[in-house]
């Protein structure tokens, strides 16, 4: 827990410095929220149940829909852009395996009301900063754009929008032979389409796209990469990836995933993109972009790469009463130091000074305060600095 809390605290600190505001929602939601967002088949992946009043509920599998429900019911009047973050547990009825759990934590953000490439770039920069705060640097960001993908499928491949859904699933899983068969079965132009899936540069993308939404998408990504470089991001770790489809209809443009290559099958640490869930809530469209980071997997990645940071458990002082009569003075001293914010272990056992100092050493306390009958009689406390070995008497009441 010390390690988890340390990583969590550092991430929360980064989120605050980017001026994100924390939100929290209940662990359970109405089942309907996730059925509406992801379709009926999502039910197999949920812990769903009826409560005593017969309401159909489930444990949340993710937090984007709950946060947006919260936004549309409580926060629509907040000035935009509105930047929110959450840190909390999610539940999925998955088959557990390394890096895949039934209860796991996500750290995530949603930016509401800003769809500029600059804002998207800052979002990716934030993600990189979160991992860096946790101590993880071996990462690969893959960035794609659904506007480009959909237009290319339609204009270059001859697959109209309403026939693209089954292909999107194959694209997302990178099953190229199956994809080829599916495109050909729909009378699509596979030979013209195939080079798109291997595109690696903006020039590749420009050569393969037509004016309109596809080229606007390429322009968006170009501006995004340029801004990302302006933050100082290492662009050798950020790649164009035309095959990110992310499976869900409500994504509108930018999509991205981040992997830790040191992990095996479950190497994806983060996923996200630009989306619009207003339709679920009968609200006006609102441009939103967000990501969710797998917190447990991030810690596994740190462990695998032997990058787990040392736990910083600061102990400022051991305060020891060396005799029964010195207890009240030791208690008062501990109270005072703790009220100042110092981390104090209090020892009222009356053990001899040598043993008290051995304990201070054991817990790596910076200072030991010893109060015995002799000190008490003179109104002083013996203070030993464990770093320097320096020992002195100080007045007990200051």
Q: Does 384 bind ligand AMP (CB under 6 A)?
A: no
Q: Does 172 bind ligand AMP (CB under 6 A)?
A: no
Q: Shortest CA distance to 220 belongs to which of 124, 139, 156?
A: 124
Q: Does 104 bind ligand AMP (CB under 6 A)?
A: yes
Q: Mark the segment that binds ligand AMP (CB under 6 A) among 127-135, 141-149, 213-221, 265-273.
A: 265-273
User: Which residue sits closest to ligand AMP, CB atoms considered?
Assistant: 294
Which of 69, 294, 356, 382 forms a contact with ligand AMP (CB under 6 A)?
Answer: 294
Which of 117, 135, 144, 271 forms a contact with ligand AMP (CB under 6 A)?
Answer: 271
Q: Does 292 bind ligand AMP (CB under 6 A)?
A: yes
Q: Which is nearer to ligand AMP, 225 or 251 (CB)?
A: 251
Other Cβ atoms closer than 10 A to 271: 19
Q: How far is CA 340 from CA 240, 344, 371, in A?
A: 52, 11, 19
Distance (Å, whole) CA 276 – CA 84? 15
Q: Does 337 bind ligand AMP (CB under 6 A)?
A: no
Distance (Å, whole) CA 130 – CA 120? 16
Please enumerate in sequence order all residues whose Cβ is within 8 A of that of 188, keeping only pairs 6 or more positions apart, or say none.
153, 157, 158, 159
CB of 182 to ligand AMP, least distance (A): 24
Q: Mark the segment that binds ligand AMP (CB under 6 A) among 69-77, 175-183, 289-297, 377-385.
A: 289-297
Q: Is 61 helix (H, G, I), strand (E, B) or coil?
A: coil
Which of 138, 268, 305, 342 forms a contact with ligand AMP (CB under 6 A)?
Answer: 268
Q: How far is CA 141 from CA 73, 221, 303, 357, in A?
A: 34, 13, 20, 51
Residue 325 is classified by DSSP as: G
Other Cβ atoms closer than 10 A to 257: 21
Q: Is the peptide bond before 81 cis (omega within 30 degrees of 0)?
A: yes
Binding mask 71-100 for ligand AMP (x = CB under 6 A): ---------------------x-x-----x
Binding site for ligand AMP (CB under 6 A): 62, 92, 94, 100-101, 104, 106, 268-271, 292, 294, 296-297
């Amino acid at each position: 827990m010390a390690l988890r809390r340390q990583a969590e605290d550092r991430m929360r600190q980064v989120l605050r410095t980017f001026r994100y505001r924390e939100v929290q929602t209940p662990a359970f939601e109405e089942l309907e929220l996730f059925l509406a967002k992801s379709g009926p088949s999502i039910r197999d992946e949920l812990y769903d149940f009826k409560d005593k009043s017969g309401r159909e509920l489930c444990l949340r599998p993710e937090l984007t829909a709950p946060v947006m429900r919260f936004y549309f019911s409580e926060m629509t009047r907040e000035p935009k852009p509105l930047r929110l973050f959450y840190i909390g547990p999610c539940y999925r009825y998955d088959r557990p395996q390394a890096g895949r759990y039934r209860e796991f934590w996500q750290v995530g953000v949603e930016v509401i009301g800003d769809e500029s490439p600059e804002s998207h770039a800052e979002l990716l920069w934030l993600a990189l900063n979160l991992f860096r705060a946790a101590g993880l640097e071996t990462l690969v960001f893959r960035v794609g754009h659904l506007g480009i993908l959909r237009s290319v499928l339609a204009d270059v491949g001859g697959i109209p929008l309403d026939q693209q859904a089954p292909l999107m699933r194959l694209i997302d899983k990178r099953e190229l032979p199956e994809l080829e068969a599916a495109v050909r079965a729909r009378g699509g132009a596979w030979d013209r389409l195939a080079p798109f899936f291997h595109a690696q540069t903006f020039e590749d993308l420009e050569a393969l796209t037509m004016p309109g939404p596809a080229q606007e998408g390429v322009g968006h990504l170009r501006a995004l990469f340029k801004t990302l470089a302006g933050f100082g991001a290492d662009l050798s770790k950020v790649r164009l990836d035309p095959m990110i489809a992310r499976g869900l209809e409500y994504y509108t443009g930018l999509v991205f995933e981040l992997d830790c290559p040191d992990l095996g099958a479950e190497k994806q640490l983060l996923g996200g993109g630009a989306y619009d869930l207003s339709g679920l809530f009968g609200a006006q469209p609102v441009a939103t972009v967000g990501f969710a980071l797998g917190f447990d997997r991030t810690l596994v990645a740190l462990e695998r790469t032997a990058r787990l940071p040392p736990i910083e458990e600061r102990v400022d002082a051991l305060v020891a009463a060396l005799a029964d009569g010195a207890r009240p003075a030791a208690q008062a001293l501990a109270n005072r130091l703790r009220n100042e914010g110092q981390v104090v272990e209090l020892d009222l056992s009356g053990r001899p000074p040598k043993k008290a100092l051995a304990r201070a050493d054991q817990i790596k306390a910076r200072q030991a305060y010893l109060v015995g009958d002799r000190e008490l009689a003179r109104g002083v406390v013996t203070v030993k600095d464990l770093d320097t070995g320096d020992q002195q008497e100080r007045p007990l009441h200051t």
